[in-house]
Amino acid sequence: MSNSDAPAKPQTLKLFIMMLLEFFIWGAWLPKIFGYLPAVGFTPNQQLAVLLAFPVAAIVGMFFSNEMADRSFAAEKFLAFSHLVGGLAILGLGFLPSDENGMVAFWPFFGLMVVHCFLYVPTMSITNSIAFASMKDPVKEFGIVRMGGTIGWVLAAWPFIFLLANWSEVNQAVATATEAGTPLGFTGWLGAVFGSKLAGTDLINGTRWTFIVAGIASLALAAYSLTLPHTPPKKGQPGDSLALFKAFGILKNPVVLVLWVVTLIDSFVHNTYFFHTDTFLGSATVGIASNWTQAVMSIGQIAEILTMFILGWTLSKLGWKATMIVGVLGHTLRFLVYAFMPEETWLMIVVQVIHGICYAFYFATVYIYIDKCFPKDIRTSAQGLFNLMIFGLGDIICKIFWIYFGNPMFTNEEKVMDWRGIFLVPAGLSILAAVILLVAFHPKESTKEIDVSH
């Protein structure tokens, strides 16, 4: 049975689960790694080397996954191989030896992270390719399928409430209550777990679970990939070998160039959120327990789920331009709240909702716009072109800035972070991106393909 003849609902469910596992892997380890690297003794240069493994892989992966994987391998088999080897690599990060202070050797960590990232990152384009090849109407269906990735990210966060709980503290609370003749019961036990937290070396060691959980999920997706709709390699046609370069050529089109520049800015802002939020929420300024910060951040993905349900309707009512502007300005609002109201812990939790809206209304909309309006022969390469910016160049610039310029600029002599100064930077940049969209972005509102001949 061909993809076009397959029953729609079962196939959509398969794609949904594929996305769920794909983003569960990334969501398990990313939020905590920014605080973990300095905690295990890595220097700024070493931190940057580890953090750049992902965006550099996005750049290299653009060439490999789109020019080789798309045209040389069945997509589902490439997905299986990548997650098998990449899963074993990130699983290994959780079992690297450490000294009595929790310090970890740099080179083994760096090597395993490079292997994982260089195999994982191309699968983000491959899962999109499998999804779009299997859908009849991407505008209506992609939001639902991509919602699986959002749910995966949410599910990845919540186990760490338990995995990063202070079980010694919990057991002591249970023992004390039992000795007093007032057993906690399940509700009381759960309250003790929720109220406990790891600190110091215990937290450093506990954070290893983020890599173990990610590795298990990656191995699960490796097996599951073999059940996905068969997506054969694309047959080479005259001129197909130049598809990637043709994708770069579309930047000559003013509409595409403006969108690419805005995507650079939005990627910097988006990655700033991940670089600082987990540490910010767990700081003395906000005071959320370390085992809860990742779960709090997942509220943004829960909001993204709801937003994905209405994304198709929003696009039909607002159009490409207005939808993207709303997504970009959401960052402005969130970071201004971070900057000026950090002591309001409840508001720091509520404002996470905005993150999901930002992602759906900008990044997901960009993907749909590419599939709807770009020439058919370069759509996959064009997806990779924007992945290059979203997960590559924008991410690289963000990490270099915050490691080499941001910390000295926004940390005082007592080594206390100037959170207001930090968050005003992405707030201002998101306003700039919105202005550029408003003034210079004039997209095709119909399904007429973008002209890349000039």
pLDDT band for position 405 (50/70/90)?
confident
Average pLDDT, the chain: 85
Say how far apart CA 11 and CA 106 lie, in whole Å: 43
Q: Tens digit of pLDDT for each residue in 361-372?
A: 999 898 888 878
How many angstroms separate the CA atoms of 102 and 93, rounded? 13
* Chain segment 283-321, per-residue pLDDT in tens: 888 989 888 999 999 998 888 888 877 888 888 888 889
Distance CA 406, CA 404 (A): 6
CA distances in angstroms from 216 to 20, 28, 209, 238, 402, listed in the order given = 14, 10, 11, 42, 31
Percentage of residues of the chain with pLDDT beyond 90: 43
User: Is pLDDT at 219 greater than 90 in this prediction?
Assistant: yes
Domains 1-164+207-235 and 240-454 share a fold: yes
Domain ranges for the chain: 1-164+207-235, 240-454
Query: Is 57's pLDDT higher than 60?
Result: yes
Would you say residue 454 has pLDDT above 50?
Answer: no
334: nearest Cα among 350, 351, 358 = 351
- Give CA separation, 63 vs 85, 116, 436, in Å: 20, 17, 29
CATH T-level fold of 1-164+207-235 = Growth Hormone; Chain: A; (1.20.1250)
For tokens 């269906």, the residue is 141
pTM above 0.75, yes or no: yes
Query: How is domain 240-454 classified at the CATH fold level?
Result: Growth Hormone; Chain: A; (1.20.1250)
The most confident of 29-33, 243-247, 378-382, by mean pLDDT: 29-33
- Total residue length of the chain: 454
* 439/409: higher pLDDT: 439
- Tell me the per-residue pLDDT of 99-131, one tens digit each, with 9 for 90 and over: 887 889 999 999 999 999 999 988 887 888 888
Distances (CA, A) of 121 to 66, 88, 113: 12, 15, 12
- Alpha-carbon torsion (443, 248, 235, 149), positive or negative: negative
